[in-house]
Structure 1
Amino acid sequence: MPRFIAPDADRKPRKRRAHTKSRKGCGNCKLRQIKCDERKPTCKNCHRFGVLCNYGQQAIPGEGILQVAMNGPYQIGILPSPSAKTAVLGALNAALRREPFLDSQNPVLQLTNRDLDILTRFQFRTTPTLATTGSQDLYQREAIRLACLHPFLMHVALGITLAHDRHLESSPPVPPSTAELHHLYRGTAMFNKTLQGPLTSSERDAVWASGSLLTASALAQIDAKVPEQAWPLVKPTENDLTWIMVFDAKRELWRIANPSREDSCLRAFAEEGYFSLHAPGYPKPTLTELPEDVIQLLGLDGSDTNSDNPYRVPATTLDNILAMESSQSTVLCYLSFLCLMPHDFRSLLQQKDPYALILMAYWYAHFSQSRAWHIWRRCILECQAVCIYLGRHHGDILGIEKILEFSRRLCEVGTV
């Protein structure tokens, strides 16, 4: 049936709602060409979009960008539209251009859409794996905020995320990409230059965050694919155990950045870190977790009184660690074994001292159960290599087969 259409004379005229055009909206809404509710100090649109509301001024003259609210609710990765992505990229690049240490060797970092995708993975996937369960939310929020303010940390964040990608995509991981090496090299160079001058509070926090990420990168970098290619089975080189020496630099960074200071945004993260925490209850008056035959082999009587014994501190630290469950919440406690490692004990490791290797094998084996992506392959391969080395060269140690049973069982051949 045809639709009936009333004659023009019978139609009621449509009334247009009266309105007044306001020119009092914020600069961001004008730039985005959307209606502003003019709420102050932050309009609803800017609050939801995560940018600084700029009443009384336009966006940065000549830039055509929005200024990201670094302390606001905005999170990279939650982008409402392609146009929003463009605006956020502009805001981040504008912030990075304000870095004072840019020169011909360190030109301006210009992020791309691909970089923004990498940063999304950095914030929501990579940073939670590098903190304990208690500090994940803080580190996830503050690491990305600091990266948006300091190009050296931005480079390091991009590099460590690309390294994480490699470890997730293939087993064994493929060699680092050009992009990963570029970001880690540039980030390290700018990081070292930043350390040469006086540091602001924000720079000190960014320095500590960069140091933590670079440490994870060093732990993750292992070329061996089978135990026979891993330390201590391979021919000695000057690069042996350099990944442990990284923690010497980390101790110096702690002194410079002091993330436990009152104005540090990473203070809560630092308070449960390996330099201040050591391990719960450290030092323990007795050794209760290491097997009795290991304690006797090391010349320890189970007490913490023999200060001249080079195995005392690492054995006590390891004993604390063995009492814990290997999980994300105890990652920093496990790393305390490396942070608190005395130089004389490290020298024993470099000399492939069998007793030092036994303690190292126990640490590798127990930590491997956390399956932390940046350390797991090293733990498995080098633990297997240590066990093979001790079996070949120190089979005459009384009870060595029983002593190595724990490490061999947790890091059995074929798990890599």
Structure 2
Amino acid sequence: MPGLWHHRLVQQRTDVARLREGQDLAVEIASSENSSAMRANHNARDPVADDSVRSSLAQGGTEPQSALSGVVWTSDASTLYQLNAKCQNFVTRYWGSSLTTPDDPHMAEVNNKLLKLAFAHPFLMHGSLAVALAYDRHQNSSSNNRRTLEECYHCSRGTVLFNRRLREPIETKDKDPIWGTAAALAISAFSCPDACVPEDSWPLKPSSSSDLEWLGMMQGKMSLWAAVNPLRADSLFRIMAPTFAHMYAPFPKNGTDGIPSDLAKVCHLDDLSTADNNPYFDTAHAVSRIHALPDGQIRTGHAHIFIRTIEGAFKLLLKQKDPLALLLMYLWYCKAGRSIWWIELRARVECPSICSYLRLYHKEHDAVHAFLPGGPVANHWH
């Protein structure tokens, strides 16, 4: 299983090297794990040393705090990381706002429980900080998608520690932190497209082995399901059972029930269509399900319905930049990106890139262009 995350780690190290334009931040980050942290007056079994933080946890405090005084760290038997003031602030902001899926009460409850685990599992803390920094990038940047050095560091460090942990036997007490970290690293990968502008982004850029790399991270997370079973009786993720059930609700065996007629037509779907005779069948149903929901009701589970259909023949078509596969991807981006911030970070560059690609290389597909901005059915889908 560690190999699932190795390729992403190599890419993250490249990102760090690319972003290392100055040394001040690098020194600040590195100092968080130096020997001064080890000299702090602490008990390894009580990784949160500051009384104000411990009190906040005990009371279930989730309000963002501008500054937390004292020494705070995350540690296990082999690793210790001391959180600076910025990290402490981001941790409270992250868990307090349930930012992976805002306004989802189930995720808020899960995050509050994961917070306590993060102080005893450094790989989870680093993964969580990477997501918090990605969220901050989303909130404070309208155009530049590039990761900061600090975000690269936490994602890279979290991946290193996560790989190391996956090489060891998985104990019950570690199952929830492992699942939470896998989810955090997958979100982090998705939220960081390779380019900052559509012209340099997929699918306009030349094809490469890194295309759809984020999909491998999503699938890597799901490959851990059997080992950690997030629906087991003592799992903190058990409250998410309805979400998982929704994600894996079966599609119709045949037909176009629930698919708008304009989409069914462009995808060559009819009453006799099945997943076996039409590669767009499942994905068109997935896009139609999320399209039918008001933006305010869309959660991560709804978005994953589409992601799980990217396999087999459809995945191959997407890699080949097939116009219908790209159209379905585009429609999903338009809908999910309005409600889920980490999808929007990628959609903001890949959506216009898909539009430009279709207009440049598939001028003859009028039925496809009808869905793009300015097309006759575009308003129905935007």
Answer whether TM exceeds 0.5 for this pair.
yes
Give, as a single letter, the amino acid of the residue that structure 1 aligns with 2:270: D
Runs of 4+ in structure 1 deviating by more than 6 angstroms, as ranges, are none
Give, as a single letter, the amino acid of the residue that structure 1 aligns with 2:127: V
Measured on the aligned residues, the alpha-carbon RMSD in Å equals 3.3
| Structure 1 residue 277, shift from structure 2 partner | 2.0
Give, as a single letter, the amino acid of the residue that structure 1 aligns with 2:182: G
Q: Deviations over 1:318-349 (max 9, x none)?
A: 22222222336433212221123223211111
Match of 1:256 in 2: 227
Q: Deviations over 1:269-307 (max 9, x none)?
A: 25413xx32266744764245443432343321456452
| Structure 1 residue 185, shift from structure 2 partner | 1.0
Give, as a single letter, the amino acid of the residue that structure 1 aligns with 2:81: L
Is contact 1:135–1:269 with CA below 8 Å preserved after alignment? yes
Give, as a single letter, the amino acid of the residue that structure 2 aligns with 1:75: G
Is contact 1:158–1:183 with CA below 8 Å preserved after alignment? yes
Give, as a single letter, the amino acid of the residue that structure 1 aligns with 2:89: D
Give, as a single letter, the amino acid of the residue that structure 2 aligns with 1:198: P
The worse-fitting range, judged by mean Cα deviation, of 403-412 and 290-299 is: 403-412
Q: 1:165 aligns with which of 125, 136, 140?
A: 136
| Structure 1 residue 223, shift from structure 2 partner | 4.2
In structure 2, the residue corresponding to 1:321 is in which secondary structure? helix
Match of 2:316 in 1: 347
Aligned identity (percent) is: 28
Which structure: larger Rg? 1
Give, as a single letter, the amino acid of the residue that structure 2 aligns with 1:116: Q
- TM-score w.r.t. length of structure 1: 0.71
Is contact 1:278–1:340 with CA below 8 Å preserved after alignment? no
The answer to whether the aligner puts 1:312 opposite 2:281 as a matched pair is yes
Q: How far apart, CA to CA, are the structure 2 residues paired with 1:169 and 1:117?
A: 16
Match of 2:61 in 1: 75
Is contact 1:314–1:337 with CA below 8 Å preserved after alignment? yes
Q: How far apart, CA to CA, are the structure 1 residues paired with 2:191 and 2:208?
A: 19
Is contact 2:176–2:236 with CA below 8 Å preserved after alignment? yes
The answer to whether the aligner puts 1:214 opposite 2:214 as a matched pair is no
| Structure 1 residue 73, shift from structure 2 partner | 2.5
| Structure 1 residue 190, shift from structure 2 partner | 0.7
| Structure 1 residue 263, shift from structure 2 partner | 0.9
In structure 1, the residue corresponding to 2:99 is in which secondary structure? helix
Match of 1:366 in 2: 335
Q: 2:355 aligns with which of 384, 387, 391?
A: 387
- TM-score w.r.t. length of structure 2: 0.76
Change over 3 Å in CA distance of 1:240–1:408 after alignment to 2: farther
In structure 1, the residue corresponding to 2:80 is in which secondary structure? coil
Q: Which has the higher helix share?
A: 2
Q: How far apart, CA to CA, are the structure 2 residues paired with 1:331 and 1:406?
A: 30
1:132-147 equivalences in 2 (<5 Å): 133-147=104-118
Larger RCO: Structure 1 or Structure 2 (Cα < 8 Å, ≥ 6 residues apart)?
2
Q: How far apart, CA to CA, are the structure 2 residues paired with 1:150 and 1:407?
A: 50
The worse-fitting range, judged by mean Cα deviation, of 196-205 and 300-309 is: 300-309
| Structure 1 residue 249, shift from structure 2 partner | 0.6
1:27-46 equivalences in 2 (<5 Å): none
In structure 2, the residue corresponding to 1:399 is in which secondary structure? helix
The answer to whether the aligner puts 1:110 opposite 2:79 as a matched pair is no
Which consecutive unaligned segments of at least 5 residues does structure 2 have?
1-41
The worse-fitting range, judged by mean Cα deviation, of 288-297 and 339-348 is: 288-297
Q: 1:119 aligns with which of 91, 114, 139?
A: 91
The answer to whether the aligner puts 1:246 opposite 2:217 as a matched pair is yes
Aligned length: 335
